[in-house]
Amino acid sequence: MRFEGAENYVTTPDLKLAVNAAIRLQRPLLIKGEPGTGKTMLAEEVAAALGMPLMQWHIKSTTKAQQGLYEYDAVSRLRDSQLGDDKVKDIGNYIVKGTLWQAFEADEPTVVLIDEIDKADIEFPNDLLRELDRMEFYVYETRQLVKARHRPIVFITSNNEKELPDAFLRRCFFHYIKFPDRDTMQKIVDVHFPGIKQALLKEALEVFFGLREVPGLKKKPSTSELIDWLKLLVAEEIPVEALRSPDQKASIPPLHGALLKNEQDMHLFERLVFMAQRNR
């Protein structure tokens, strides 16, 4: 089993190697990178390319590690007991399987995505060490050991909001998706908009990379924003001329709301443009 890249997703050689290492040695792959560089998409694309089902586990600040394994729904059991339901005798009826359990007992190998692991409590990764290492866990309520029939390919994404513990990091492969350079960006856009006019694309990339250079932006526009913006440009049939202005700095690009998503950034940008116009 080898990942050779996907049709809808541009993979750099180092990313390909990291994915293959994770597949081959059956260790989780931790992916970091600026928001919007396609961390989550990677898992989807790998699953699609290898023809494997994808199990997603999205992490929130309240997520507990246990929830990925199973949950014991004590509340409904208590309610059933008050209503005299027969189900109540078997505790197994109240064990709700989590994402990892489902992946462990699947008939075929699966891809598991643990999305934004840094959103959870700092102890969260530590609680999953053994489960990800040995791919097994113990259900205390039913005294049952759940073991993976096929070790799933695990992708973990992080936005760097919290630091992950060393013990956890040591068990993973690590890849940092760096912001694509112009060539890679061109490839990415080509994948998404096969028919786009080259002239328009060139100008759009010019504006985009120019915008990323603006100092002091809170959130620099990223790949996913560029794709959205291009989508809008194409849909609205904006002519190339609208993007091309004699002075890049002195005009606001059309539909810039797709690129800047933050009020302060918008104000800062407008102020800069205003100053540039005044100085002309």
Partner 1 sequence: MLIDFFLHLKARKLPVSTKEFLTLLEGLQAGLGEHSMEDFYFLARTSLVKDETHFDRFDQAFGEYFKGIEQIPGLEVDLPEEWLKAMMQKHLSPEEKAKLEKLGWDKLMEEFKKRLQEQKGRHQGGSKWVGTGGTSPFGNNGYNPEGIRVGGESSGNRTAVKVWDQREYRNLDDSVELGTRNIKVALRRLRRFARLGAPDELDLDGTIAATARNAGYLDLLMRPERHNAVKVLIFFDVGGSMDDHVKVCEELFSACRTEFKHMEYFYFHNCVYDNVWRDSSRRHSDRTPLADVMHKYGPDYKLIFVGDATMSPYEILQPNGSIEYSNTEAGAVWLRRLADAYPSMAWLNPEPERTWDYRQSIGIIRKILGEQMFPLTLDGLTRAITHLSRKR
Which of residues 174, 179, 193, 209 is near partner 1 by CB under 8 A?
174
213 binds partner 1 (CB under 8 A): no
Quick one: 22 or 243, whose CB is closer to partner 1?
22
Q: Distance between CA atoms of 19 and 29, rounded to whole angstroms?
A: 7
Tokens in use for 152?
Answer: 């799933």
The span of 28-36, 37-45, 142-150, 261-269 binding partner 1 (CB under 8 A) equals: 28-36
145 binds partner 1 (CB under 8 A): no
Is residue 183 within the footprint of partner 1 (CB under 8 A)? no
- As beta bridge partners, residue 72 has 95
Q: Which residues contact 278 (CB under 8 A, 6 or more apart)?
A: none
* DSSP-assigned letter for residue 80: H
Q: Site map for partner 1, 88-127, x if CB under 8 A?
A: ----------------------------------x-----
Query: Among the candidate windows 94-102, 164-172, 197-205, 265-273, which touches partner 1 by CB under 8 A?
Result: 164-172
Reduced to 3 states (helix: H, G, I; strand: E, B; else coil), residue 55 is strand
Using CA atoms, how far apart are residues 165 and 168, in angstroms rounded to an integer?
Answer: 5
SS3 state at 177: strand
Tell which one of 215, 241, 246, 263 touches partner 1 (CB under 8 A): 215
- Judged by CB under 8 A, which of 97, 151, 171, 192 binds partner 1? 171
Do residues 165 and 126 touch, judged by C-beta distance below 8 A?
yes
Element (H, E) at 132: helix 129-134
Q: Residue 134 CB, nearest distance to partner 1 (Å)?
A: 14
- Which H or E run includes 68? helix 65-69
Contact stretch for partner 1 (CB under 8 A) within 39-47, 51-59, 73-81, 236-244:
73-81
User: CB of 224 within 8 A of CB of 272?
Assistant: no
CB of 234 to partner 1, least distance (A): 34
Residue with tokens 């810039």: 256
Strands 70-72 and 95-97: antiparallel
Amino acid, single-letter form, for residue 17: L
Contact between 202 and partner 1 by CB under 8 A: the answer reads no
Q: How many residues bind partner 1, per CB under 8 A?
A: 32
Q: Does position 199 bind partner 1 by CB under 8 A?
A: no
Cα 96 from chain centroid (whole Å): 26
Rule CB under 8 A: choose which of 163, 236, 247, 270 binds partner 1: 163
Which residues are near partner 1 by CB under 8 A? 13-14, 17-18, 20-21, 24-25, 27, 29-30, 32, 62, 75, 78-79, 82, 122, 163-164, 166, 169-176, 178, 215-216
